[in-house]
Amino acid sequence: MLSSLVKVLKIMRIYLLLPALLLSFLLYGSDGYELWLNYQLIENQEIRDEYASAFSFIVADTDEAVVGTAVAELQKGFSGLLGATVDVGPTRGKKNGIYLGLRGQSARIDEYLKLNEVPEVGPEGYHLAFHNGDVLVLAEAAKGLLYGTFDLLRTLQQQVPLAALKRTERPAYTHRILNHWDNLDGTVERGYAGFSIWNWHQLPGFIDQRYIDYARANASIGINGTVVTNVNANALVFRDDYLDKAAALADVFRPYGIKLYLTARFSSPMELGGLATADPLDPEVIAWWKAKVAEIYRRIPDFGGFLVKANSEGQPGPREYGRSHAEGANLLADALAPHGGLVMWRAFVYTDKEGGDRFKEAYDEFTPLDGTFRDNVLVQIKNGPIDFQPREPVSPLFAAMPQTPLLLELQITKEYLGQGTHLVGLANMYEEILETDLHPQEDGGKVRQLVAGIAGVSNIGTARNWTGNLFGQADWYAVGRLSWSPELNAKQIFKEWAGLTFGRQETVVNTVNQMLTLSYPACVNYMTPLGLHHIMATGHHYGPGPWVNDLGRADWNPYYYHGATADSIGFDRTQSGNDALGQYPPAYARQFRDPTTCPPEFLLWFHRLPWDYPLASGNTLWRELALRYQQGVEQVAEIQTLWASLEPYIDAGRFHHVRQHLNIQYQEAQWWRDACLAYFSHASGRQLPPGVPAPAETLERYRAISHPYAPGIRPQW
């Protein structure tokens, strides 16, 4: 009697709660802070009942901190999704619950394992199952329970029936890392979402709730490491007080299974230690790093290690002492090895002397070093050979260092990609990169099979919604999901993100997916069609600047990369040019050698061609270029229309936010088209084809546009 009264009251409570919650959501909407973790009450009563009956209590058979995090997350999830509180520990009278347990340590889990074969899941994997009315999260180590929990909650958010729950998940990579280009002064290099979320000045005393929410968001998508400082590094971070600050961050991240890494400025022994040299073979330098690393581990026992940018864009490095990148990396690796730390040594190098084509430099510098790095060194390679361009062929280095573990560096922030305002679903680009098969005639040659992990350059800042542009969240989400499951395709990720972020109505999910799918080709079209690259304005790289040709060094100039004359355009990287193509495995390079087989999107990366060169589309090169610029603008208009159709489904706050950014994107797409076509039409002496409107302004006006305060620029540049 009493128990049925309680039941009725409980049901009533949910009913009373439902309209109130929905109403407040519609009125105030969401500001995006909760990311993809907005545990909205499930409206479907049947599903809610099904879930509620299986989740009466939570039993966790281990007391490690990450499991505490998992339990708290489940409680939060259930209270949002089901409007119910769930007890921790078996509750008398309640039949079914959720069990988080380790193989061999939990009776309930072992009982299941007697009946079901579950493969080894490794240190971070897990198995999810629905068994006799209970939900089981099974792992070999505590971290697996955390990831299993987030997966379970994602499943519930998507309202999947519990009966379907039976799967094993293991991350493809051990290294799933974010790189922050955040400076100690609070600015973010190439950051378009406000300032750094790390308040170094107030650390370690003040722990911002954001640090915790940041760790939680990352854990939910499988990220297990973060480099909190800029690769253009500051030795100050190794000073005692800053190490205390870093340790405070590491303490926040630990219960979320995230390791803290720092960037190491190669000249730190001089700047901080007062030594006369930073030569990696100098005994005093070796001793300095050993002592410094030991000091770090005293504060941060699970410290991840160092990320290093050396001898690149003015950063100090071993080359100054006639030493190789391997000698530099090994110096740090030897200091870190006794503590289990790693060195991530970047291959984004180009010398400060004017040399040849930057395309070739990393390969030339690093391939001779293959096999000479210590075991705890990973070489971190940007996806493309130049620099995060809207569309690049993949770096040839991925296929050229078989004896060295490699990390793929992807951009999440959007330097060269519309910065803070453009909606560009980068999962499209990530998929293209990961699926590129550099050894098409053998197995195992896809980029995703050649690397040991992913490092994503963060787009996070103090913006209330973390990424400034709301859709930037999808790129952060994608990097996490791909670093766990690199074989996921963009469409799966877009749909998953859309459902978690905006709700799972089919119209919303499909439309958001369409927008994101269209957005990457749109951006490439209105910025750099047919393989144009590096034609952005100087310094901040905001907006077009294909005409720029007066910078100190030839290869800093956009003009260097397209060399447009009255006759032709493009960079000859075939054998008749500088043969950069020779750096790729021949079976892969073959398609690019001949302009008739080269995929049009990479054409001007590898070929210098006359403007009237006939393309397979039936258009001349000039006509195709102009039409693609126009198509890019039209695709943005299409994205605007798609978003407008979602007005009835999206809360006013987020709807308006995205609409305003799309309006800016549309104007800027026109700016890109008009400015570039004004310039190329002038250079080629050709008229625009029908269907492409005349530029709104003169070329002189476009050239005169300046944005001295565009965000994200490196202060000293």
Distance CA 380, CA 383 (A): 9
Residue 43: partners with Cβ closer than 8 Å, 6 or more residues away? 18, 22
Residue 172 vs 262, nearer CB to ligand GCW: 262
Rg of the Cα atoms in the chain: 27
Q: Choosing from 64, 271, 387, 579, which is the catalytic residue?
A: 387
Half-sphere exposure of 611 (CA within 13 A, CB side): 18
CB 119 within 8 A of CB 112: no
Residue 553 vs 590, nearer CB to ligand GCW: 553
Identity at 160, one-letter amino acid code: V
Sign (positive/negative) of CA torsion 369, 411, 34, 503? negative
Among 73, 140, 189, 674, binds ligand GCW (CB under 6 A): 189
Q: Does 131 bind ligand GCW (CB under 6 A)?
A: no
Among 147, 345, 348, 679, binds ligand GCW (CB under 6 A): 348
Distance CA 490, CA 434 (A): 11
Nearest to 391 by CA among 300, 526, 289: 526
Residue 194 vs 595, nearer CB to ligand GCW: 194
Residue 251 vs 313, nearer CB to ligand GCW: 313
For 408, the 3-state DSSP assignment is strand
Residue 540 vs 607, nearer CB to ligand GCW: 540
Among 415, 496, 572, 624, binds ligand GCW (CB under 6 A): 415
Distance CA 122, CA 456 (A): 24
Q: Which of residues 616-675 bind ligand GCW (CB under 6 A)?
A: none
Residue 97 vs 420, nearer CB to ligand GCW: 420
User: Following CA atoms 570, 575, 579, 584 in sequence, which dihedral angle do they give, to the nearest 10 degrees?
Assistant: 110
Among 143, 190, 391, 703, binds ligand GCW (CB under 6 A): 190
CB 645 within 8 A of CB 658: no
Q: How far is the CB of 366 from ligand GCW (least distance, A)?
A: 15
- Is 415 labeled as catalytic in the residue annotation? yes
Site string for ligand GCW, 310-339 (x = CB under 6 A): ---x--------------------------
Nearest to 633 by CA among 558, 492, 523: 523
Q: How far is the CB of 310 from ligand GCW (least distance, A)?
A: 11
Q: How far is the CB of 636 from ligand GCW (least distance, A)?
A: 24
Residue 230 vs 421, nearer CB to ligand GCW: 230
Q: Which of residues 145-184 bind ligand GCW (CB under 6 A)?
A: 181
Q: Which of residues 480-499 bind ligand GCW (CB under 6 A)?
A: none
Residue 231 vs 625, nearer CB to ligand GCW: 231
Q: How far is the CB of 604 from ligand GCW (least distance, A)?
A: 20
Q: How far is the CB of 580 from ligand GCW (least distance, A)?
A: 19
Q: Does 542 bind ligand GCW (CB under 6 A)?
A: no
Distance CA 216, CA 66 (A): 11
Q: Choosing from 49, 61, 251, 313, which is the catalytic residue?
A: 313
Site string for ligand GCW, 554-583 (x = CB under 6 A): ------------------------------
Q: Which of residues 238-297 bind ligand GCW (CB under 6 A)?
A: none
- Is 387 labeled as catalytic in the residue annotation? yes
Q: How far is the CB of 714 from ligand GCW (least distance, A)?
A: 5
Q: How far is the CB of 457 from ligand GCW (least distance, A)?
A: 7
For 598, the 3-state DSSP assignment is coil
Among 59, 86, 178, 231, binds ligand GCW (CB under 6 A): 231
Q: How far is the CB of 348 from ligand GCW (least distance, A)?
A: 5
Distance CA 35, CA 538 (A): 33
Q: What count of other Cβ atoms lies within 10 Å of the Cβ of residue 71? A: 19
Q: Does 361 bind ligand GCW (CB under 6 A)?
A: no
Describe the chain by its helix, strand, coil percentages, rounded to 5. 45, 10, 45
- Is 313 labeled as catalytic in the residue annotation? yes
Largest interatomic CA distance in the chain: 91
CA distances from 502 to 26, 75, 352, 480 (A): 12, 22, 47, 19
Among 131, 339, 491, 714, binds ligand GCW (CB under 6 A): 714
Residue 189 vs 357, nearer CB to ligand GCW: 189
Q: How far is the CB of 469 from ligand GCW (least distance, A)?
A: 19
Q: Does 395 bind ligand GCW (CB under 6 A)?
A: no
Q: Does 232 bind ligand GCW (CB under 6 A)?
A: yes
Q: How far is the CB of 413 from ligand GCW (least distance, A)?
A: 10
Extended strands (E) in 327-420:
342-346, 377-382, 406-411
Burial grade of 16 (CB within 10 A; 0-12, 13-18, 19 or more) = exposed
Distance CA 476, CA 486 (A): 14
Residue nearest to ligand GCW (CB): 387
Q: How far is the CB of 231 from ligand GCW (least distance, A)?
A: 5
Q: Choosing from 134, 169, 415, 668, which is the catalytic residue?
A: 415
Residue 25 vs 556, nearer CB to ligand GCW: 556
Query: What are residue 380's DSSP bridge partners?
Result: 346, 407
Residue 86 vs 231, nearer CB to ligand GCW: 231
Residue 609: partners with Cβ closer than 8 Å, 6 or more residues away? 568, 569, 570, 595, 603, 621
For 602, the 3-state DSSP assignment is helix
CB 494 within 8 A of CB 516: yes
Two tokens, residue 696: 């709104």
Q: Which of residues 372-391 bind ligand GCW (CB under 6 A)?
A: 387-388
Burial grade of 325 (CB within 10 A; 0-12, 13-18, 19 or more) = buried
Q: Does 345 bind ligand GCW (CB under 6 A)?
A: no
Nearest to 583 by CA among 345, 437, 367: 367
Residue 30 vs 268, nearer CB to ligand GCW: 268
Among 309, 391, 481, 673, binds ligand GCW (CB under 6 A): 309
Distance CA 195, CA 544 (A): 25
Q: How far is the CB of 268 from ligand GCW (least distance, A)?
A: 17
Catalytic positions: 313, 387, 415
Residues that bind ligand GCW (CB under 6 A): 181, 189-190, 231-232, 309, 313, 348, 387-388, 415, 714
